[in-house]
Amino acid sequence: MLRTRRVAYALVAVFAIASVACSNDSSSSSAAGSTTDADTGPTVTATVKDFSIAIDPTEIAGGEVTFSISNEGPSAHEFVVIESDDAPGDLPVEDGEVTEDGLDVIGEAEDIAPSTTADPLTLTLPAGQYVIICNVTGHYEQGMYTGLKVT
């Protein structure tokens, strides 16, 4: 009887240690393409292709944000995040490119090859309005832009 109790206690201890070792203290939730990790904040899923940029979600809470960017087009693209109150299609353009000088460029992923996923782009975004563009010559003018609201 004593031996049976010892075996039972040993099994309980093993299971308790195994469950603690296999647990994860970060939380994830999925809603409209966005996931949240306790350590990194929301993830925005982005798709670039000739000639559009789609993001999901289009509104997020401020803080650290990670963009997961897939290029589904046949051309290389960029993914430039700009804080701006301008409408996404109203940025200044010169020689087929948005004039980034004077704009508040927060971060970017360059040279995203066709049919690939870029390395995650993690930025700290305070509340405000953002414009996301591809600034490869001619692409912005062909509609490669979208807006992001951060609350």
Mean pLDDT of 24-36: 38
Q: What is the pLDDT of residue 18?
A: 40
**Is the Cβ–Cβ distance between 42 and 34 less than 8 Å?**
yes
Mean pLDDT of 111-140: 97
Q: What is the pLDDT of residue 40?
A: 65
Radius of gyration in angstroms for the set of CA atoms belonging to the chain, rounded to a whole number? 22
Query: pLDDT-based confidence at 39, cuts 50/70/90?
Result: low
Residue-wise pLDDT tens digits, 122-132:
999 999 999 99
Query: Which structural domains are found in the chain, ordered by start?
Result: 26-150 (2.60.40.420)
Model confidence, pTM: 0.75
Q: What is the pLDDT of residue 27?
A: 34
